[in-house]
Amino acid sequence: MRILFIGDIVGSPGRHIVAERLADLVAQQKIDLVIANCENAASGFGITPRLVEELLGTGIEVLSGGNHSFDRKEILDYFPHQPRLLRPANYPNGAPGSGLYIGAAKNGVGCAVLNLQGRVFMAALDCPFRTADRELARIPPDVKVVLVDMHAEATSEKLAMGWYLDGRVTAVVGTHTHVATADEQLLPQGTAYITDVGMTGPHDSVIGMEKAPILRRFLDGLPARFEVGSGNVQMNAVLLDVDESGPLGPAGRACARSIQRLRFRSD
């Protein structure tokens, strides 16, 4: 089967290029499952119920999150009612929503998506490594395809998670830094890995936001209002080819055959 993971969607430019390009891409590449990180979809900070439904309507099956998942107050009551919207599983007990989705792809193959958040240079959440152990134990043995979104600042923490889960999941993909890395690879026990998928949004910017206010803040250190940038809108993603019916990894999960970076510019 073929899985598309779309990097952090930033504001209306990011949403628009997904709406513009996704349907054709799914048809051309025969994609069975689409996942996207959406924590910056609402003007760069958070997500709203309306935008969740908008993105799911483009053909995305599962939306993952990160440190901005709860930025919009209207999303708090919505989380428990939309299992296809994830927030990091290592938020403390009592946080609304879930970090694990279990369902099926378009081709009927059982799949799971796990969302984790790193702690280095970020909020002091529960340990993502121990959380991964706990959440993977909840996935039924017959669900062979498992993808992990590791939303983290430090490349070392993401890569450590890749090695920690090698052979136990199908893929570990990194999000959060909005800069695509060139280290896509298949780890020795069959897990596909990349440190960061990159950003889906305006690249004539500073990681999605208008340049001028950010430059002023670097120069004078004063608070500034950040707005989503514009220009050079790109969709960054990875395409995974998964052998769901072939030899399984040590933990009984499907192995990846390949991982490929994709980049598209807006028409």
- The residues that are catalytic are 68
Q: What is the distance between the alpha carbons of residues 85 and 78, in angstroms, rounded to a whole number?
A: 9
Amino acid identity of 51?
L
Distance of CA 100 to CAs 47, 135, 192, 220, Å?
18, 7, 19, 42
> Sign of the C-alpha dihedral, residues 181, 150, 38, 186?
positive
Helix (H, G, I), strand (E, B) or coil at 79: helix
Which of 161, 179, 180 lies closest to 171 in space, CA to CA? Answer: 161
Which residue, 40, 27, 49, is CA-closest to 229? 40
